[in-house]
Amino acid sequence: MSDQDPPAGSSQLVSFERADVVSLMIYPAPPPKLVVTGQVPYMNIEVTLNPVRYIQRPEYWVIEVVGQMPVIGLPALAPYAVELDLTGLIGTRGIEVVGANQTERIDIPSA
């Protein structure tokens, strides 16, 4: 590991390439899901979507793209795709996806 590698067992924001809200056009409609894709520098980093907790519903609900570094990192670019059921996690206007490289607001009209 180099001096720039994150410490083993640590969590930090990771970069993402795309963030999409997917909802099926069937009745009754299932809850929308957030799907985030990208690449991580270690093939065994576990990527999760972590919603911020709020006391009151915000305009945009922040959801962080977080990577958990394993004890031993296997350096190699690896694609990832993670999803999150948005039930109870949509702000008055939508969601805001926050990663290491960007922040993206997604309006959800039915919110």
Q: Put residue 9 in one of left, alpha, beta given phi > 0 → left and psi -120 to 50 → alpha.
A: left
pTM given for the model: 0.87
| Average pLDDT across the chain, whole number | 89
Cα dihedral 38, 42, 47, 52 in deg (nearest 10): -90
Write down the pLDDT at residue 109.
81
Mean local confidence (pLDDT), 45-62:
96
